[in-house]
């Protein structure tokens, strides 16, 4: 007698899962590198072909790594905000120019402003693969020890930025 | 004379075998390449494998897989490479770990359970 | 004006549906027959209003009425006529209109074709059908209105997604919906039967043709979807275990189990609760599919614009409908008492085993589809469950099924002896084993054991029912027809399996850059690249490749793969060119151009692809013959009485 309730019970469980699923966005993929050290790499800068920057050069201070490109419409929107935070806060922002054209990229920064301490030029996209990049814009938060603490996919805005800073401060206190 | 002929025949045979083996190994590499691509998920066109996707990133990753194969990496190393950077999401074949053990085992356990249950219900109870 | 008319008709339809539900319910509760005797009338009224509303929407498309937002989003003045008709169901709102229209068609069919049903029973059935209709109509009216206006009306619409501008779009969705929605009838019959506490052999006989009809349409719908994907998508794939595909496959698996369960209930008056439960589960899976496609819960190429708000509505509707039916089942099922046993070696047992394997398979597909969602909901991260999982886990469930299928049709009802069955089948077993090993060995030299096993079992599945047809040639028409229907349906599965196994294991692929007059060998073919020219279509520009195909130095045909750029889209679309024969397909698609006369080309040699489509066609035919047999049998009984 009681066993006839089994289908109903199973179904109720299913509904609970489906309901909770409505809140998540299945297409956003969190970074697999959170809590790990930044990948080793060495890339030339955007402004100077002969100058190379390696992963070692970046450790010592916390920074943001912003993945951008001239072919990315959202990056243009985000750029103003980056220029803004570069002015008002002390945080260092490095740019990772992803699969782009050097001349076009330099022109872009000339026209729209340059919030980056340095821009790394990854035309082939290999270093970006090591960072788990799958599109632009993306922004990584790295702490002073060179460990990736946070990755934001999509446009950076005030809310996300404040969140990132909080995370960094919490880490400092620990 | 006999020695010369034997030697020639033997080296021709060896050459044939080695060329079959190497063309086979090329074909083997191609087969591995094709198979690995079907098991990796494209992160941009999220419902296609790396084999099917037209996205730029998919093209880059296909080249990466090919170069890794040519450098002698094993299938496992290639899957690990992708998983380290893009997470389990990138693998179409879910790994076998604590999180997925239910996924892999549930069907067979369910089958067994139902078969045994029905056996008892229909046939033992009739006695 | 048109949008207002359409909207009013839609609301009228909703009202009629409400009356269709409320009036008989009152009548049944108060036991006043006058409230439910004329219930058919409300169904007819609902249909008329819905049909007119749907036609209003279609007319809006045909007359390029861009003052309606939905039309502007999905159509264009240069869209060919037949695609304007198909565009009506190309988006979320319109596809729901089609859903309800088809539900109305099924409801009308029940009213017209089942004159023998008692008023009470018919009333119950129509209440259930009406309730589902109310749910969907309310969903449309309140959250997904296709008649919303766009002011000011633009001069030109967006366009129908070029991927959908294909003849496949004309038949695949309607067929699929006929199948999905069709199971609502069996669902309604089951609820009605449970409420009346009667799920006996007569009930089974009445519901059987409805189960078969829905199954036949669903089979065709799924088959057409695969065939369309194969021809249209450009890389030779035909099944991707995409969540929406799975959403149609699960009801199909459960529907197949239901067909066999209802046969047992009709024949031996047992498995009554089980059959009713299967019907409820089959339709619930259809509803679940509707939820998955439109709520944004899962990533899918088929998904309509994802809207969590709509998702909540559908989830509530799903919970209510299925939850209520399962409660009714829980409460009423114990009132159903059945008598009748069967031996451990009997057709009943084998059909029970059939059901078990099919349901575990359906469960597996559900688990694999929802697992990423479950893991995410438990905050354990993001996971992918793709084709490798489904292929690995389902193979050991499907292959044994093939084995049991032929044994079952050669086993008697109630009780049989294994030795007798073995004697009947030993010749076929021998032929299957010998040919199942010789054929692949000679032609393909496989190094996987599963190829041999699958080939043996497929031949076994084809020959078994054929043998029975031969034995029945001297018997009466009805029995012969039944045997023929079983042959087509079962052989179809075997043929399909051969198609799946051989195209999966023995396909060859070449991806390379070709220049003028260069040729490449693949399988038995030689492919020579000639050139690519520019062609113009009705609403696109095409880069059309010319490739000559040779076999044994003899010219066979010329293939024209294309890269199309539609007027309003920026991304080019690939149209593959296929040369298809019984035992293999040659499939070519264009890649990227490198220089003016050098193009990337993808060439696939795919054995046994035709077997896939033939197998599905056989299953479809088997279902049709079975329905016809039931109808003929019924006519005979009516004529003699």
Q: How many CB atoms lie within 10 A of CB C470?
A: 11
C-beta of residue C353 within 8 angstroms of C-beta of residue B119: no
Tokens for C303?
Answer: 């998904």
Same domain, residue pair C133 and C170? no
Has residue C326 got a pLDDT over 50? yes
**Where does the pLDDT of residue C306 fall: very low under 50, low under 70, confident under 90, or very high at 90 and above?**
low
Q: Kindly report the backbone phi and psi dihedral angles of residue B33, in degrees, each rounded to the nearest multiple of 5, phi listed first.
A: -55, -50
Query: What's the helix, strand, coil split of chain B in %, to 5?
Result: 70, 5, 25
Is residue A42 in some structural domain? yes
CB C129 within 8 A of CB C185: yes
List pLDDT tens digits, range C135-170: 999 999 998 999 999 888 888 888 788 878 888 889
Q: Is there a single domain that holds both residue C228 and residue C307? A: yes
| Greatest C-alpha distance within chain B | 86
Q: Using a CB-CB distance cutoff of 8 angstroms, which residues of chain A are in contact with residue C322?
A: 11
Tell me if chain C has a CB within 8 Å of the CB of B91.
yes
For residues C264 and C568, the model is more confident at C264
Q: How big is chain B by its Cα radius of gyration, in Å?
A: 25
Interchain CB distance below 8 Å, A17 and C322: no
According to DSSP, the residues that pair with C545 across neighbouring strands are: C532
**Which pair of tokens denotes residue C520?**
């490449």
Whether A1 maps to a domain, the answer reads no
Predicted pLDDT of residue A172? 62
- How far is residue C550 CA from its own chain's centroid? 37
Most A-contacting residue of B85, B87, B121 (CB-CB within 10 A), to test interface: B85
Q: Specify whether C170 is located in the same domain as C159.
A: no
Question: Of B85, B87, B88, which is closest to A130 when you measure between CB atoms?
Answer: B85
Q: Which residues lie below 8 Å from residue A16, measured CB to CB, with a gap of 6+?
A: none
What is the mean pLDDT of the segment spanning C484-510?
A: 94
What pLDDT is recorded for position C421?
A: 93
Whether residue C252 sits in one domain with residue C367: yes
pLDDT 10s digits, C165-192: 888 889 999 999 999 999 999 999 999 9
What does chain A come to in residues?
174
Q: Which one is predicted more confidently, C639 or A121?
A: A121
pLDDT at B61 over 60: yes
pLDDT band at C303, cuts 50/70/90?
A: low
- The CATH number of the domain where A104 resides is what? 3.40.30.10
Alpha helices of C31-118 — where are they, by DSSP H?
39-62, 69-74, 81-87, 92-113
Looking at the structure, tell me whether residues C471 and C567 fall in a common domain: no
pTM: 0.90
Alpha-carbon gap, residue B39 to C384, rounded angstroms: 10
Q: Which residues, in sequence order, are bridge partners of residue A140?
A: A65, A151
Which residues in chain C are closer than 8 Å to B87, comparing Cβ atoms?
381-382
Least confident of C414-423, C555-564, C628-637: C628-637
Residue B124 CA neighbour count, 13 Å, CB half = 7
- Percent of residues, chain C, with pLDDT higher than 90: 65
Nearest to C61 by CA among C50, C71, C73, C51: C71
**Checking phi first, is residue C236 left (phi over 0); if not, alpha (psi -120 to 50) or beta?**
left
pLDDT, one tens digit per residue, over C503-530 is 999 988 888 888 888 889 988 899 999 8
Query: Tens digits of per-residue pLDDT, A5-23?
Result: 999 999 999 998 888 877 7
Contact C377 A24 (CB under 8 A): yes
Please give the Cα distance from C371 to A42 (Å, whole number): 39
* Mean residue pLDDT across chain C: 91
What is the share, in percent, of chain C residues with pLDDT greater than 70?
Answer: 98
* CB–CB contact A22 C312 (8 Å): yes
Could you tell me the two tokens for C234?
Answer: 């450009």
Confidence of residue C124 (pLDDT cuts 50, 70, 90): very high
Q: Which residue in A12, A173, B92 sits closest to C384, CA to CA?
A: B92
pLDDT (0 to 100) of residue C641: 65
Contact B87 A31 (CB under 8 A): yes
How many C-beta neighbours within 10 Å does residue C555 have?
A: 11
Residues in chain C within 8 Å Cβ distance of A5? 330
Contact B87 C371 (CB under 8 A): no
- Residue A26 domain-assigned (yes or no): no
* C405 and C351 Cβ atoms separated by less than 8 Å: no
CA angle at C441 for the pair C439 and C442, rounded to the nearest 5°: 70
What is the average pLDDT across C421-428?
94
**Could you say which residues from 10 to 39 on chain A have a Cβ atom under 8 Å away from some Cβ of chain C?**
11-12, 14-15, 17-27, 29-30
On whether both C460 and C574 belong to a single domain, the answer is no
Evaluate whether B40 touches B61 at the Cβ level (below 8 Å).
yes
ipTM of model over 0.95? no
Cis bond before residue A137 (omega within 30° of 0): yes
Phi-psi region at C551: left, alpha or beta (left = phi > 0; alpha = psi -120 to 50): beta
Chain C positions with Cβ closer than 8 Å to A: 273, 277, 280-281, 284, 291, 295-299, 308, 311-312, 315, 318-319, 322-323, 326-327, 329-331, 333-334, 370, 372-374, 376-377, 381-382
Instruction: Judge contact between C90 and C158, C-beta under 8 A.
Output: no
The mean-pLDDT minimum among A123-132, B45-54, C187-196, C242-251 falls in B45-54
**Is residue A10 in a domain?**
no
pLDDT at C227 over 90: yes
DSSP state of A52: E
Q: Answer whether residue A14 is part of any domain.
A: no
Report the pLDDT value the prediction gives residue C305, as an integer from 0 to 100.
61
Q: Does C522 touch chain B (CB under 8 A)?
A: no
Looking at the complex, does the CB of residue B84 fall below 8 Å from at least one CB of chain C? no
- When scoring C342, C360, C370 by the number of chain B Cβ atoms within 10 A, the one with the most, hence best to mutate, is C360
Residue C184, exposed/middle/buried by CB under 10 A (0-12, 13-18, 19+)?
Answer: buried
CATH number at residue C532: 2.60.98
Task: Give the count of domains, chain C.
Answer: 4
Chain B nearest-CA distance from C11, in A, is 38
Mean pLDDT to the nearest integer, B55-71: 88
Residues of A in contact with C277 (CB under 8 A): 7
Which domain range does residue A88 map to? 31-173
Mean pLDDT of C350-357: 95
C316: domain range?
166-414
Q: Examine the pLDDT at C304 and tell me if it is beyond 70.
A: no
Q: Indicate the pairing of strand A118-122 with strand A92-98.
A: parallel
In C537-576, which ranges are E strands? Answer: 540-551, 554-559, 562-566, 573-575
What is B51-108 written as a DSSP string? TT---HHHHHHHHHHHHHHHTT--HHHHHHHHHHHH-GGGBSS---STTTHHHHHHHH
Mean pLDDT over the full length of chain B: 81
Residues of chain A found within 8 Å of residue B50, distances taken between Cβ atoms: none
pLDDT of res. C455: 96
Tell me what pLDDT residue A173 has. Answer: 56
Q: Cβ contacts of residue A15 below 8 Å, gap of 6+? A: C315, C318, C319, C323
Q: Which residues of B touch C396 (CB under 8 A)?
A: 108
pLDDT exceeds 60 at position C96: yes
The pLDDT of C321-342, averaged and rounded, is 90
Find out whether C505 and B31 touch, Cβ atoms under 8 Å.
no
Are residues A29 and B85, on separate chains, in Cβ contact within 8 Å? no
Enclosing H/E stretch for C437 = helix C418-443
C-contacting chains (≥3 CB pairs under 8 Å): A, B
The whole-angstrom separation of Cα B98 and Cα B81 is 21
Domain termination residue (choose one: C386, C414, C442)? C414
What pLDDT, in 10s, does the model give residues B97-114? 888 999 999 999 999 999
SS3 C286: helix
| Residues of chain A found within 8 Å of residue C242, distances taken between Cβ atoms | none
* Total domain count, chain A: 1
With 90 as the cut, is the pLDDT of residue C348 above it? Answer: yes
Flag if B89 and C360 touch (Cβ within 8 Å): no
Per-residue pLDDT band for B9 (boundaries 50, 70, 90) equals: low
Residues of chain A with pLDDT under 70: 1, 26-27, 171-174
DSSP for C456-498?
A: HHHHHHHHHHHHHHHHHTTS-HHHHHHHHHHHHHHHHHHHHHH
List Cβ neighbours of A137 (8 Å cut-off, separation of 6 or more): A66, A67, A68, A72, A74, A75, A78, A154, A155, A156
Residue-level pLDDT at B127: 45
Q: Which tokens is C98 given?
A: 């089609």
**A122 found inside a domain:** yes
Domain contains A15: no
Query: How far is CA C544 from each of CA C173, C509, C535, C573, C579, rounded to the nearest angstrom?
Result: 29, 21, 7, 12, 16
If contacts are CB pairs under 8 Å, which of residues 84-103 in chain B contact chain A?
84-89
Burial A2-33 (b: 16+ CB within 10 A, else e): eebeebbeebeebbeebbebbebebeebebbb
Question: Does the residue A62 lie in any domain?
Answer: yes
Token couple for C607: 């054995």
DSSP helix/strand/coil, C541: strand
Domain final residue pick, C136, C163, C190 = C163
Looking at residue B8, its pLDDT comes to: 62
The stretch C5-9 carries a mean pLDDT of: 95
d(CA C95, CA C177): 9
How far B36 CA lies from chain A's nearest CA (Å)? 17
| Range among B85-89, C589-593, C609-613 rated most confident | C609-613
Question: Rounded to the nearest 10 degrees, how much is the dihedral formed by the CA atoms of C6, C7, C13, C14?
Answer: 160
Contact assessment for residue B41 and residue B91, using Cβ atoms and an 8 Å cutoff: yes
Residue whose structure tokens are 């899918």: C300
pLDDT at C511: 81
């Amino acid at each position: 007698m009681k066993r006839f309730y089994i289908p109903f019970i199973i179904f109720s469980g299913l509904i609970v899962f489906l309901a909770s699923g409505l809140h998540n966005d299945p297409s956003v993929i969190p970074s697999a590198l959170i809590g790990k050290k930044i990948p080793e790499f060495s890339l030339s800068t955007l402004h100077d072909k002969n100058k190379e920057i390696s992963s070692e050069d970046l450790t010592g201070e916390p920074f943001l790594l912003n993945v951008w490109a001239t072919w990315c419409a959202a990056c243009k929107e985000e750029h103003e905000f980056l220029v803004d935070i570069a002015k008002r806060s002390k945080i260092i922002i490095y740019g990772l120019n992803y699969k782009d054209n050097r001349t076009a990229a330099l022109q872009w920064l000339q026209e729209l402003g340059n919030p980056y301490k340095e821009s790394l030029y990854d035309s082939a996209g290999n270093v970006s693969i090591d960072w788990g990049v799958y599109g632009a814009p993306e922004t990584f938060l790295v702490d002073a020890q060179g460990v990736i603490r946070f990755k934001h996919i999509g446009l950076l805005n005030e809310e996300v930025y404040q969140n990132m800073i909080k995370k960094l401060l919490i880490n400092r206190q620990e | 004379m006999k020695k010369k002929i034997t030697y020639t025949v033997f080296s021709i045979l060896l050459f044939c075998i080695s060329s079959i083996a190497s063309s086979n190994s090329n074909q083997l590499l191609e087969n591995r390449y094709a198979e690995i691509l079907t098991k990796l998920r494209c992160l941009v066109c999220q419902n296609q494998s790396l084999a099917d996707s037209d996205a730029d990133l998919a093209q880059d990753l296909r080249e990466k897989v090919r170069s890794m194969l040519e450098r002698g990496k094993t299938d496992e190393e290639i899957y690990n490479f992708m998983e380290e950077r893009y997470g389990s999401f990138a693998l179409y074949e879910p790994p076998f770990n604590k999180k997925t053990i239910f996924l892999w085992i549930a069907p067979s356990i369910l089958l067994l359970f139902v078969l045994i249950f029905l056996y008892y219900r229909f046939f033992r109870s009739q006695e | 004006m048109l949008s207002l008319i359409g909207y009013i008709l839609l609301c009228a339809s909703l009202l009629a549906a409400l009356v269709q539900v409320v009036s008989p319910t009152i009548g049944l509760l108060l036991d006043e027959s006058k409230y439910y005797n004329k219930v058919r009338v409300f169904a007819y009224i609902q249909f008329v209003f819905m049909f007119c509303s749907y036609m209003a929407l279609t007319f809006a498309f045909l007359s390029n009425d861009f003052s309606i937002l939905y039309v502007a989003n999905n159509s264009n003045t240069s869209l060919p006529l037949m695609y304007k008709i198909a565009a009506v169901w190309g988006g979320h709102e319109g596809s729901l209109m089609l859903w309800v229209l088809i539900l109305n068609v099924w409801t009308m069919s029940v009213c017209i074709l089942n004159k023998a049903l008692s008023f009470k029973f018919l009333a119950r059935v129509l209440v259930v059908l009406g309730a589902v209709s109310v749910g969907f109509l309310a969903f449309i009216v309140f959250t997904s209105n296709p008649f919303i206006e766009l002011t000011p009306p633009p001069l030109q619409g967006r366009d129908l997604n070029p991927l959908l501008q294909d003849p496949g779009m004309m038949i695949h969705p309607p067929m699929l919906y006929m199948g999905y929605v069709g199971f609502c009838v069996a669902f309604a019959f089951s609820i009605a039967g449970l409420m009346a506490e009667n799920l006996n052999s007569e009930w089974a006989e009445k519901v059987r043709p409805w189960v078969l009809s829905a199954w036949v349409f669903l089979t065709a719908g799924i088959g057409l979807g695969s065939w369309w994907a194969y021809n249209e998508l450009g890389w030779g794939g035909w099944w991707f275990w995409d969540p929406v595909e799975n959403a149609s496959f699960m009801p199909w698996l459960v529907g197949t189990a239901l067909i066999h369960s209802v046969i047992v209930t009709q024949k031996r008056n047992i498995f009554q609760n089980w059959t009713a439960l299967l019907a409820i589960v089959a339709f619930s899976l259809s509803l679940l599919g509707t939820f998955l496609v439109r709520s944004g819960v899962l990533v899918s190429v088929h998904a309509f614009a994802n809207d969590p708000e709509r998702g909540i509505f559908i989830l509530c509707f799903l919970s209510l409908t299925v939850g209520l039916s399962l409660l009714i089942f829980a409460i009423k099922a114990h009132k159903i008492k059945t008598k009748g046993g069967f031996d451990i070696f009997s057709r009943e047992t084998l059909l029970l085993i059939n059901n078990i394997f099919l349901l575990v398979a359906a469960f597996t597909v559900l688990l694999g589809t929802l697992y990423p969602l479950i893991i995410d909901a438990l905050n354990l991260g993001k996971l992918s469950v793709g084709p490798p999982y489904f292929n690995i886990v389902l193979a050991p469930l499907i292959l044994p099924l093939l084995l049991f299928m032929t044994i079952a049709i050669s086993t008697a009802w109630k009780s049989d002896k294994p030795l007798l069955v073995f004697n009947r089948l030993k010749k076929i077993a021998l032929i299957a084993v010998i040919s199942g090993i010789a054929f692949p060995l000679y032609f393909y030299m496989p190094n996987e054991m599963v190829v041999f096993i699958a080939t043996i079992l497929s031949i076994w599945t084809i020959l078994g029912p054929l043998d029975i047809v031969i034995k029945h040639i001297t018997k009466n028409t009805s029995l012969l027809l039944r045997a023929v229907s079983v042959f087509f349906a079962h052989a179809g599965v075997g043929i399909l399996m051969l198609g799946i196994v051989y195209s999966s294991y023995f396909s060859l692929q070449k991806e390379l850059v070709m220049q003028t007059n260069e040729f490449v060998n693949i399988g038995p073919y030689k492919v020579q690249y000639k050139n690519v020219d520019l062609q113009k279509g009705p609403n696109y520009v095409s880069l059309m490749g010319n490739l000559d195909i040779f076999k044994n130095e003899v010219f066979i045909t010329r293939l024209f793969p294309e890269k199309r750029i539609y007027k309003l889209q920026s991304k080019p679309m690939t149209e593959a060119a296929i040369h298809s024969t019984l035992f293999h397909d040659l499939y070519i698609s264009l890649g990227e151009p490198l220089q003016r006369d050098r193009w990337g080309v993808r060439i696939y040699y795919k054995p046994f692809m035709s077997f896939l489509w033939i197998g599905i066609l056989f299953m479809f035919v088997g279902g049709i013959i079975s329905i016809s047999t039931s109808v003929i049998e019924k006519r005979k009984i009516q004529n003699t009485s």
